[in-house]
A and B are shown apart, each in its own frame.
Chain A
């Protein structure tokens, strides 16, 4: 008599076997983190120093100096008085409602995360555009990074590095980097073949082609990727606050646990304000850099 129980019940591993596997993997990772945790932490020390320095810079400088710098930067990038003015107004409002320090902390971590994502993502995107094989390897990895719930990869990061700023930054970067990579790849692949051929025909070497033709022509697409990355990084702020990242996320977290509706709303709105500012500024920059590439009306 054969055992037909698998027909009605899903055949699954033994409870004990499953437990063994889990135990084995967990302990292996734990061993790994015990073994290498310190050296990995040491590796990220410069990043931590920079994070702390940058946060201090934003928090401890007088508010008007910071505001002046931000507004100046916004104007330089967007060339729009309207946008610069709304930035001033929203920051004044944020400060008036007592969220200045948290906003500065969030701003600093988002800035660092974005810079990191660009520095890592753009080269990866370039490599992907160069070879179809790299693309076929990287694409599924990006898919996993984007669809894996953020909490899941917080676990190994926390196990390795504990709670703090650096694991927060790592989690945010992992979550936010895919758009930059994808759109850098796409942008370079979409560069007009004839323009690239022209560069080759005039004897440009691969580096000259990359810097002189491919990246400039892909820049609108890359900018769209960076914009996406910033938005996703901001979206991670609350989750990152669970592993000890200071900033606007923590009051939100606090208000979830204590049901402080107004506190949550104010901080949430501050995040939204930051997001809109980042978005508008990067978009207006992209628009300006696209002007010649996409053509203007003939007069």
Chain B
């Protein structure tokens, strides 16, 4: 059993189809023939929700399913706990076929395996915050003191200690969703289904909640299936992202793959609007480091330096990266004493950056520095460098593409507006003035 589950992915969706309508199975042949959604709707009155979905989700990852409204993402997430029954296909969770569970087993499965967070929170307005958080446990029949103690603990974790006796509608949207999150965590289910959990929140609260989720995940290592229509959000929290369009899976991959190698025009259109500096990490854009100095004395270092075309280099010794050395400073130092050890040489003041850092955070430092900024990992090893020119290139390459279009669109829109508005409004004053002329 354990061997089997280790070999196969934690959650597996195989060849899943969902057709909405009265005689959904009769429509299946048409769907499989590859008729389009619109054709099937016109011919049979059935709506194709999902088509041939295959997904493998690993234990402990945040798997984001992304798509616009109508892409079937909310339908898909409701298949994991069978809130919606598929027309065809298999859903395996740890090798258990969810489709084969009977009602009692399904209830047990929902109680223990999965917890869900909803877009509009789905809190019970007639229960107070504590009772809401403890809801999952009360359904399981856990006694009151135990479940209240646990709920109190989770409320504290999400930062809502002291709100126990409040009612959901007395809280703000962000607080309500924290309650929703606490309720989901309170059952200790391994799998968290989050259906556009942060979409109803305003941007500031949303990014706060994303932050909190990422923080929590560091300790909890849950398997999280997260639905969103916001690619920025997907890139920020997702370990892997699946993109859904009209019920079809378009691309599945790591955020960087999706950002840098979009599978088709649809994905590309999405990616274009992404705030790259906030989505890309240094690692994905850095270049291999130019030159390293390994000499022990200043004299040897200068010799090494003279052999390279640039007038700077990174000094690396057995302990890893030490700092940036520039040629002028070396030459000055050599005049005094060329046998001085490199350890005593005053290196340029240029703090390195981490490969995991977001581009957003390194823009000021990179722009202000005369030298490319070294990228150094947690072990202290030099991994690469990011130069001012290179960073500008990465960002502008993308901005050029985007601004060209959006600006031309804007211009078009503005002129259109002007035309539509100005024409009648220009005419009227004229007529007015004519009228007044005539009267006078």
Contacts and interface: CB of A to CB of B under 8 A. Distances in A.
Contacts of B140: 203
A194 interface: yes
A68 interface: no
Nearest to B106: A203
B321 interface: no
Interface stretch (B107-115, B211-219, B244-252, B425-433): B107-115
- The prevalent SS among residues of A at the interface is helix
A194 B120 contact: yes
Contacts of B116: 198, 201-202
Contact of A202 (B168, B172, B187): B187
A229 B81 CA distance: 41
A214 to B, nearest CB: 11
A67 to B, nearest CB: 34
Interface string A180-212: 000000000000101101111111110010001
Contacts of A199: 124, 135, 139
Interface string B92-115: 000000000000000111111011
A195 to B, nearest CB: 5
Contacts of A197: 83, 118, 122
B220 to A, nearest CB: 18
Interface residues of B, number: 34
Interface stretch (A33-41, A72-80, A235-243, A291-299): A291-299
Contacts of A192: 122
B126 A203 contact: no
A208 B135 CA distance: 11
Contact of A217 (B109, B115, B119, B125): B125
Contacts of A213: 124
Q: B interface, by DSSP: helix, strand, loop or mixed?
A: mixed
Given A217-B125, A292-B169, A203 B108 contact: yes
A197 B135 CA distance: 13
Interface in B298-326: none
B139 A296 contact: no
Contacts of A204: 107, 139
A204 B108 CA distance: 9
A257 to B, nearest CB: 51
B225 to A, nearest CB: 13
B120 to A, nearest CB: 5
A203 B107 contact: yes
B118 A292 contact: no
Contact of B170 (A201, A217, A298): A298
B125 A295 contact: yes
Contacts of B124: 195, 198-199, 212-213, 216-217
B122 A205 contact: no
Contact of B83 (A201, A212, A292, A293): A201
Nearest to A299: B170
Considering residues B114, B116, B139, B172, which has the most beta carbons from chain A within 10 angstroms of its beta carbon?
A: B139
A298 B122 CA distance: 19
Contacts of B119: 194
A295 B126 CA distance: 10
Given A194-B118, A194-B122, A295-B125, A208 B139 contact: yes
Contacts of A198: 116, 118, 122-124, 135
A208 B83 CA distance: 16
Given A213-B124, A293-B126, A201 B139 contact: no
B384 interface: no
B169 A216 contact: no
Interface in A61-105: none
A296 B122 contact: no
Interface in B165-218: 167-170, 172, 183, 187, 193
B136 interface: yes
Given A200-B83, A201-B110, A292-B169, A216 B115 contact: no
A197 B139 CA distance: 14
A293 B169 CA distance: 8
B188 to A, nearest CB: 12
A217 B122 CA distance: 13
A194 B172 CA distance: 18
B125 A292 contact: yes
A297 to B, nearest CB: 9
Nearest to B136: A202
Contacts of B111: 202-203
Contacts of A194: 118-122
Given A203-B140, A292-B167, A298 B187 contact: no
A292 B136 contact: no
B110 to A, nearest CB: 4
Contacts of A202: 110-111, 115-116, 135-136, 139, 183, 187
Contacts of B136: 202-203
B170 A295 contact: yes
Given A208-B139, A293-B126, A296-B169, A200 B118 contact: no
**Which of the listed residues A195, A201, A217, A293 has the most CB atoms from chain B within 10 Å of its own CB?**
A201
B164 to A, nearest CB: 14
Nearest to A206: B103
A201 B115 CA distance: 7
A201 B119 CA distance: 14
A269 B121 CA distance: 50
Interface in B387-412: none
Contacts of A293: 125-126, 169
A237 B143 CA distance: 48
Interface of B: 81, 83, 107-112, 114-116, 118-126, 128, 135-136, 138-140, 167-170, 172, 183, 187, 193
Task: Give the top 8 A-B pairs by smallest Cβ distance, nearest first.
Answer: A203-B111, A295-B169, A198-B122, A203-B110, A201-B116, A292-B167, A194-B122, A202-B136
20 contacts: A194-B120, A195-B123, A197-B83, A198-B122, A198-B123, A201-B81, A201-B114, A201-B193, A203-B110, A203-B111, A203-B136, A204-B139, A216-B124, A292-B167, A292-B168, A293-B126, A294-B125, A296-B169, A298-B170, A298-B172
Given A199-B135, A204-B139, A295-B170, 18 more contacts: A194-B122, A195-B124, A197-B118, A198-B118, A200-B83, A201-B81, A201-B115, A202-B110, A203-B112, A204-B107, A212-B138, A217-B125, A217-B126, A292-B167, A293-B125, A295-B125, A296-B167, A298-B172
